[in-house]
Structure 1
Amino acid sequence: MTAPSRTLHAPAAPAARAAATSDLTPLPLTAVTLDPRGELGAWQTLNRERTIPHVVERLETSGVMDNLRRITGESEADYRGFNFADSDLHKTLEALAWEAARVPEDQPWEQFVRDATALLGRAQRADGYLYSHVQGHGDQHPWRDMRWGHELYVLGHLIQAAVARSRATGNDDLLTVARRFADLAVKEFGPAATRADGYCGHPEIETALVELYRHTGEQSYLDTVTAMVDRRGTGALGTGPFESAYHQDHAPVRESLEATGHAVRQLYLNAGLADLAAETADAALTSALESQWRSAHGTKEYVTGGMGSRHKDEAFGDPFELPPDRSYAETCAAIASFQWNWRMLLDNGQSRHADAMERALYNGIASSTGVDGVRFFYSNPLQLRTGHDGTSEYQPSERLDWFACACCPPNLARLVSSLGAYVASGTETAARVHLYGSGVITLGATTLTVTTEYPWDGRVEIAVAGPLTDLALRIPAWSAGAMLEIDGTTASATPDADGYARVSVHDGATVVLDLPMPVDLLDPHPRVDAVRGCVTLRRGPVVHCIEQADLPPGVTLEDVRLDTSVPPRVGPSVTSLRAGATILAEAVVHPNDAHATGTFMVRSSRTAWRSGMLPGRIPLRAIPYARWANRTPGAMRVWIPTHVEE
């Protein structure tokens, strides 16, 4: 095959779709311009003005750049960070590439990118190997530890950064470096390789090599992914301190039907498998991915879109093992889920994947970054108790500006820079809109101008200019009573089998989609023991929480019970929290701690207390979960116990 056009800027561009006429054809990143006055556009602005400069600075102060310089003799500093610290640079370079495509007239980091690329080239060995942890330690050897070595993981992020830079700017300097390393990996782990452990303990290389194949047309990259996938599942990576399932090495990939082990590893692997299935039409892979999706999203997903319930091994737990206060819900896992669902969406067109992307984006991903853009959560709990010990950076009481394992901040930077690529797909005559945000979508000769305050308001207005005839609009699963108008005339908003309302349009048409956004009370699945008797407040796609900061003096958050007999209502915005709306409700305070015996309460004592004292009523304000921990440190919860009259 021939390499795709340089104008194809999308992060994931299936070759089978690149020349297609389907409304699932990925758009160039430059096809979507998000309005900075809207939620998604404002997030991109914050990312550009605050997050990216912060990340670039921390690459220096954390030792990432010096780790490479010590190989070239330009630094005498000791190696710092985890063995995969190189990937922090690679993810940052990818973010800068998408920014170069998004704002080509202003590229303040171009010299940094050129310098970093030149440094990588100088550090690279003659055979293409480029991994500062091994090169910087005389007792380390390439490819010695496939379980924990992370060489292929680091290569994967280098490839994604290089492809992004090539697509965004046409500059192949980084691609040249990445391909040298990739070609070495093909020799070591391609179809002709004989080592049983010829695959990475931390999946990521799979999706990267498929994208490199798509970008260059080099078949060996795709064949190497197939070989790695075929080998995985034999247990050849070994165990300790975790079992084979931690590395998704417990069963052949096509027979692994349940999301298990390290959540980020599983979800990155699934993204790569979806890429591979799209290029090879592997029905067994597609079937396994469907089972994986139903396992992950049907039994192991938090209401915020977070993934991974266990701190010990950053892993999925058993089905419905979803404790809110011990939820790990790593930021990178939510990002990986977003990326996997995008690939599944491109393959089957089902809106449930866009729903999952939206749920993670506005909740489990957005919660990771403070409103200042420079403080982050690594894990994203759904409850923080009064008196919580937040000394660990992996379960802190407030966001931190960096981490020893700093995978999340640069991962956030690259996702937010590329958000426009996930908004819509299609051609100039047939299009689908997956995520709603103010801005302009360009499909060849067609332009769609979207005006909305989503996710704070459900009205989405789209002005059509050009030859577009077929428009599909996602009707979110949370929505009831959606309404559509075309040029002021009511049209059917009934979704098709894929979950999209399809309408015929014309040049000059105005389409208005109205998605009512009442406050919903969500009950947990009966098998989620940890939150039985609790409810969550959600409005549209936005999950809300209550914080100690919003309670009256003297009231402890754990003593608050929501009175569900009083319907909650929409509250005003909070500009300082970048929250376009809040939720107002009523609650009852149960000061149980004063009457309990240790960690339990005798039922008869509880009854006697109730007969002698009435609980107090208070107004309750819930804020978007994504905006918690932006004021003072304090308790928070998403699942709120309900008040029951006795």
Structure 2
Amino acid sequence: MTTTSPRPTTLAGDRRRFAGPVDPRTSTLTPLDATQVRLTGGFWAEKQQLNADVVLRHCEDWMERIGWIRNFDLAAAGRDQVDVEWQHSGIEFVDSEVYKLLEGMAWELGRQHDPDLQRRYDDLVERVSGAQDDDGYLHTSFGRPWQRARWSDLEWGHELYSMGHLLQAVVAAERTGTGPRLVEVGRRLAEHLWREFGPEGRVAICGHPEIEVALAELGRALDEPRWVELARLFVDRRGRGLLAEIEYGAEYFQDDRPVREADVLRGHAVRALYLAAGALDVAVETRDDELADAVRRQWEATVAHRTYVTGGMGSHHQDEAFGADHELPPDRAYSETCAGIASTMLSWRLLLADGDARYADLIERTLLNVVLASPREDGRAFFYTNTLHQRTEGTVPDELEVNARALSSLRAPWFEVSCCPTNVARTLASVEQYFATRTDDGVQLHQYGSYDVDVELPDGTAVALSVASGYPFDGRVEVTWREATDREVELTLRVPSWTEGAAVTLVAPDGEVSRHATSTVVVRQAFAAGDVVVLDLPARASWVHPDPRIDAVRGQVAVQRGPLVLALESVDLPSGSVADVLVDTRVAPVTTPTGARVALTRSWTRPAPWPYGQSVAATVEQLGRVDLVPYASWGNRGPSTMRVWLPVGEGRG
């Protein structure tokens, strides 16, 4: 992979107007923005349009209805009228959900103009900005006479966490040109934070990392190195015991060891991943190789030993945390949707920094099997956690009520802690920006689907190509050059780690050249308009065997079809239960258009008052071939039980 020379530092006003969520000043790969890569149809375009049409409005309507947005109106009134006391709606950090909604709206407006969305966005910006105090502080849960004092609960108050999400919304506003008023709010807030927590301020950190990644990107977007420096201070203060002791231990906050000394991600999964993403941003901006190497080391160990087959992270429910190495129980998988999004954020930053296709592999796995598992097919309900084994159907959520995070086979429309729906919204609004990058020598395609790339390389060479694919169900990817290049350029194609027998074919007017592809493919030449490069990725269903150190799934297998992890759902079984099924691995899984079909039996023993003791004869029932569905689609056909890992019966050994 070719490494580009560092991009020169420029004034914010001279930078690309529609830069995306991550825009490092120096990197191996340069990200493309929403004017340079655009979804044109197919799977991902449908998901993004559902987000634009339904998910954003769903989040907005719910927060309006239950008072989370009104908190800002009341805060604005209470600032001018000290005697106006009001009951804050929701827990301390619901401000952050409004900010993620604003971010998602901004990315959507940067992608395509919508007068109604712009009007709603502008109105929401006005309501948020009205609640900002004169010194720049902005939070609806703290600081008024009848509320807790500012910064009085750094462990659990989430003040800096919430403000971090506001600053990420500010970055989106700046880079899409949609919200100049919000940008000014962000500048004033950042100035306040510099005074409060900068080199001359208090030495403190937030219990929930997020401000680090936000400040680093704000510094890039507004060309203000102080914000990057403040992010660095927060990163380097972590692990110094600055937060009070809690029942989960300092590890929960990542306050047990400095970032530079840690070998693996631990504690609360979302916190750990946000912190790692912010630390890498700081490392890239300040050229701190030691810090960058620490993040790489933690990613390596976490993916190798603490990550589910879906890409999900976090196996503890009580503290939403990583477990020990290989502690990955499927039926207790927490695998929070927000952790999947945070993992994608971290892997993207590592990909830009290093150009290693392994990071893009994990992005693909996590987006398709964790992030997309959260929203219901109609975009109006969500999973907060993503279990890999649902033993009971659970309760049916009330579509009109806020639901707790109870385990259920059906998604809920909203939660008391509703971080996941808004996180999904902002991710889908900008998801195309994970698909392609450029270097001085050409373009790199990391994710597949149907999209156009139009980018000018640093020397002025224009690259215009169209990608067409039925991905993720069809592994054939066609790249058509819409314009000729006036010099040789490189087209780099990721060959996913899940495939075997991949081939790349160049179809040109003077003939066809095909070759086997076993790793990242680079096609270098001067392309003519109409040239087609075809990447064939066999997406056959295959067995996935777990690491034997994962005790919870020893003697079981999963099935993967291309990039999709599959699941057995009880609605596809005559008895409606996945509890006692066995899979016959002597019979290869059959690939179907969207999943696979496997040979199952059912085995059970006679009832006993004590579930342990000597083996008794089992009764076996042949179930024949049964369909498995993409894991991300389960729970859309009514109450059900489900499992990803299938116990092996006939054919064991």
TM-score grouping bracket, smaller chain normalisation? over 0.9
CA, structure 1 residues 257+614, in 2 after alignment: closer, same or farther (shift >3 Å)? closer
1:64-108 deviation per Cα after TM superposition (whole angstroms, max 9, x unaligned): 11111111228976211110100111000000101111112x242
CA distance in 1, matches of 2:389, 2:149: 43
CA distance in 2, matches of 1:501, 1:239: 52
CA distance in 2, matches of 1:93, 1:6: 21
Quick check: 1:71 aligned with 2:83? no
CA distance in 1, matches of 2:178, 2:394: 50
CA distance in 2, matches of 1:413, 1:563: 40
Partner in structure 2 of residue 577 of structure 1: none
CA distance in 2, matches of 1:348, 1:428: 15
CA, structure 1 residues 525+390, in 2 after alignment: closer, same or farther (shift >3 Å)? farther
Of 417, 431, 456, the match for 2:443: 431
Quick check: 1:126 aligned with 2:147? no
CA distance in 1, matches of 2:33, 2:620: 61
CA distance in 2, matches of 1:569, 1:281: 50
Conservation of the 8 A alpha-carbon contact between 2:238 and 2:258 = yes
Aligned-residue offset at 1:427: 5.3
Partner in structure 2 of residue 381 of structure 1: 387
Of 56, 60, 63, the match for 1:52: 56
CA, structure 1 residues 59+318, in 2 after alignment: closer, same or farther (shift >3 Å)? same
CA, structure 1 residues 287+559, in 2 after alignment: closer, same or farther (shift >3 Å)? same
Aligned-residue offset at 1:504: 3.2
SS in 2 for 1:258: coil
Conservation of the 8 A alpha-carbon contact between 1:378 and 1:394 = no
Partner in structure 2 of residue 5 of structure 1: 15
Give, as a single letter, the amino acid of the residue that structure 2 aligns with 1:450.
V
CA, structure 1 residues 591+348, in 2 after alignment: closer, same or farther (shift >3 Å)? same
Gaps of 5+ in 2: 1-8, 79-83, 398-403, 457-461
Conservation of the 8 A alpha-carbon contact between 2:105 and 2:426 = yes
SS in 2 for 1:15: coil
Quick check: 1:559 aligned with 2:580? yes
Quick check: 1:250 aligned with 2:256? yes
Partner in structure 2 of residue 589 of structure 1: 602
Of 284, 287, 290, the match for 1:281: 287
Aligned-residue offset at 1:421: 0.9
Q: After the TM superposition, which residues 80-159 of structure 1 pair with which residues of structure 2 at under 5 Å, given as runs?
A: 80-104=89-113, 106-135=114-143, 138-159=146-167
Partner in structure 1 of residue 3 of structure 2: none
CA, structure 1 residues 136+411, in 2 after alignment: closer, same or farther (shift >3 Å)? farther
Conservation of the 8 A alpha-carbon contact between 1:66 and 1:77 = no
Gaps of 5+ in 1: 573-580
1:518-557 deviation per Cα after TM superposition (whole angstroms, max 9, x unaligned): 11100111010001111001011100000110001x3531
CA distance in 1, matches of 2:514, 2:291: 39
Give, as a single letter, the amino acid of the residue that structure 1 aligns with 2:505.
E
Give, as a single letter, the amino acid of the residue that structure 2 aligns with 1:231.
R
Quick check: 1:308 aligned with 2:314? yes
Conservation of the 8 A alpha-carbon contact between 2:155 and 2:206 = yes
Quick check: 1:530 aligned with 2:542? no
Conservation of the 8 A alpha-carbon contact between 2:475 and 2:562 = yes
CA distance in 2, matches of 1:166, 1:532: 50
Conservation of the 8 A alpha-carbon contact between 1:79 and 1:136 = no
Quick check: 1:415 aligned with 2:427? yes
Aligned-residue offset at 1:213: 0.8
Quick check: 1:32 aligned with 2:37? yes
Q: After the TM superposition, which residues 71-470 of structure 1 pair with which residues of structure 2 at under 5 Å, given as runs?
A: 71-73=75-77, 78-104=87-113, 106-135=114-143, 138-169=146-177, 171-193=179-201, 195-196=202-203, 198-386=204-392, 388=394, 392-426=404-438, 430-444=442-456, 445-464=462-481, 465-467=483-485, 469-470=489-490
Aligned-residue offset at 1:170: 5.3
Aligned-residue offset at 1:645: 6.0
Deviates more, 1:75-84 or 1:89-98: 75-84
CA distance in 2, matches of 1:273, 1:339: 12
CA distance in 2, matches of 1:6, 1:460: 29
Conservation of the 8 A alpha-carbon contact between 1:91 and 1:158 = yes
Conservation of the 8 A alpha-carbon contact between 1:595 and 1:601 = no
Conservation of the 8 A alpha-carbon contact between 2:154 and 2:206 = yes
Deviates more, 1:482-491 or 1:618-627: 482-491
CA, structure 1 residues 130+337, in 2 after alignment: closer, same or farther (shift >3 Å)? same
CA distance in 1, matches of 2:185, 2:405: 34
Conservation of the 8 A alpha-carbon contact between 2:585 and 2:651 = no
**How does the TM-score come out when normalised to structure 2?**
0.91
Deviates more, 1:71-80 or 1:205-214: 71-80
CA, structure 1 residues 66+290, in 2 after alignment: closer, same or farther (shift >3 Å)? same
Partner in structure 2 of residue 575 of structure 1: none
1:197-230 deviation per Cα after TM superposition (whole angstroms, max 9, x unaligned): x221111111111111111111111111111122
CA distance in 2, matches of 1:123, 1:630: 40
Partner in structure 1 of residue 25 of structure 2: 15
1:444-479 deviation per Cα after TM superposition (whole angstroms, max 9, x unaligned): 332111111011011000001242621000011111
Conservation of the 8 A alpha-carbon contact between 2:76 and 2:131 = yes
CA distance in 2, matches of 1:481, 1:218: 49
SS in 2 for 1:620: strand
SS in 1 for 2:35: helix
CA distance in 1, matches of 2:284, 2:651: 55
Aligned-residue offset at 1:644: 3.2
Conservation of the 8 A alpha-carbon contact between 2:235 and 2:275 = no
Conservation of the 8 A alpha-carbon contact between 2:542 and 2:588 = no
Partner in structure 2 of residue 41 of structure 1: 45
Conservation of the 8 A alpha-carbon contact between 1:585 and 1:621 = yes
SS in 1 for 2:116: coil
Conservation of the 8 A alpha-carbon contact between 1:191 and 1:223 = no
Aligned residues: percent identity?
39
Of 485, 503, 508, the match for 2:505: 485
SS in 2 for 1:312: coil
Conservation of the 8 A alpha-carbon contact between 2:376 and 2:411 = yes
CA, structure 1 residues 226+25, in 2 after alignment: closer, same or farther (shift >3 Å)? same
SS in 2 for 1:590: strand
Partner in structure 2 of residue 578 of structure 1: none
Give, as a single letter, the amino acid of the residue that structure 2 aligns with 1:518.
R
CA, structure 1 residues 249+70, in 2 after alignment: closer, same or farther (shift >3 Å)? same
1:479-516 deviation per Cα after TM superposition (whole angstroms, max 9, x unaligned): 111101111623445456xx444443512221000011
Give, as a single letter, the amino acid of the residue that structure 2 aligns with 1:62.
I
Deviates more, 1:453-462 or 1:559-568: 559-568
Between Structure 1 and Structure 2, how many residues are aligned?
619
Aligned-residue offset at 1:178: 1.2
CA distance in 1, matches of 2:123, 2:501: 54
Aligned-residue offset at 1:192: 2.4
CA distance in 2, matches of 1:563, 1:129: 61
Conservation of the 8 A alpha-carbon contact between 1:428 and 1:443 = no
Conservation of the 8 A alpha-carbon contact between 2:504 and 2:517 = no
Conservation of the 8 A alpha-carbon contact between 1:555 and 1:589 = no
CA distance in 1, matches of 2:60, 2:428: 15
Of 532, 536, 552, the match for 1:510: 532
1:393-441 deviation per Cα after TM superposition (whole angstroms, max 9, x unaligned): 2422310000000101011000000011111001585000000011211
1:171-202 deviation per Cα after TM superposition (whole angstroms, max 9, x unaligned): 42101001111111111111222x34x22111
Give, as a single letter, the amino acid of the residue that structure 1 aligns with 2:405.
E
Give, as a single letter, the amino acid of the residue that structure 2 aligns with 1:507.
A
CA distance in 1, matches of 2:590, 2:522: 28
CA, structure 1 residues 622+505, in 2 after alignment: closer, same or farther (shift >3 Å)? farther
Give, as a single letter, the amino acid of the residue that structure 2 aligns with 1:250.
D
Give, as a single letter, the amino acid of the residue that structure 1 aligns with 2:538.
P
